[in-house]
Structure 1
């Protein structure tokens, strides 16, 4: 549960929150209570390495979306209800997003959460009811890409619940995925996905393209699909272990030939 002790500032409305954010300093904790359901939380100012700015809801604090465009920030304890998609967007370094709920964002690709940047932690969030409402959009629990956005290194995605997801729990496209969601500078690498629950409706729960050195362990997958995990377009160095498969999933992993280098895990069954 979010910790609302040692708060530098206590706020209960949008005006107070904006004022608190504009004057916040590194290491400060801003605690938010109440229903801010008409307001999208916009974080444009961060702390410093080792002294982030922390914005803490009480677990029942409602906002209409969260956008982080800063580094060294912690966001926790919010309910993101009926937001414009993505429900949460992270663009920055040293950002932690934890203990939040995202339910039924709409518009765009109807994604629950998007992330871009290095040294990110996405922990113990619940993202549910991700569906395109008949629009044909590619509605994922989480997504990242590198066309016109930063690549992502050192990412921990742990203990999250992706429930009632129309498409995939994670669609990840690194810089090497040129011509689709990739391209751009930098490297997307060194990710860990652990202890997550993934209930999905696509032909795979995770699609990892051109992201290197991804560890996928101790996750639970539920759906009716060819496989739980797809590795494609040079997604080398993957390590896959101790994942639990629902009865409707035929294989743990499918893999392209250019993703086999450094792979450790179950025998791949077909392509990605």
Structure 2
């Protein structure tokens, strides 16, 4: 009796390696994609306080030569595994390169996206607040390597338009001069409507080492927007509202201020950054600065 643990091979290896066979229609494919999967990665990120495990949504794609019938799916899955602890962008580039090499193709692209808690302190009570941010990376391996990293966070914006009308009421009610009213506007929060939104800051470069890091991107968001926090006692909540109303912003202002803030921060670093994108969503409004 044949041992069930031994696979019986009757034909040549090429017969069983169906993906490597030549297709009937020898047409090169620009992209074959694997998506809707999740993997766990061990990463080392300053923004997250050191070593962490992240559950990442994965989207991987690889080019396919005209003479190859399909991708080797098991090799794709193996490429997701066995990586040491390191920065997320470096890990993503290593996986993309491994996919490209094991599939014997010209290029490969990997996208990773994960939610992670960043522990911050509330402004008044100084309590620890685990605030969720979205970390993303896209790595392209091949003749023209490229990598982008993104940080997304929740913000609150106060509308500048309505403050003019509220200030007029205040000036009339208190008998202030116009100049006195403007001084009040710069020191005291004046009524207007506010809304939550989402801001995502993305930068790209040829190599992971050229990128500024998630910690720097998050710092820029914190400096040029009003980030919300998960834990807010009443004094902390007032301070959040106060800061937003003392710096009222359109979503257009958020996009421009954030882009300019990162450009200033990186001006003296010599980083080879060739693309910077800020995307801001607030209700039905979507603004993007490239």
TM over 0.5, shorter chain: no
**Bigger share in helix:** 2
Compare the two structures and name the one with the higher strand fraction: 1
Indicate the structure whose relative CO is greater, using CA pairs within 8 Å and at least 6 residues apart: 2
Q: TM-score, normalised by structure 2?
A: 0.23
The higher radius of gyration belongs to: 2
Provide the TM-score with structure 1 as the length reference: 0.24
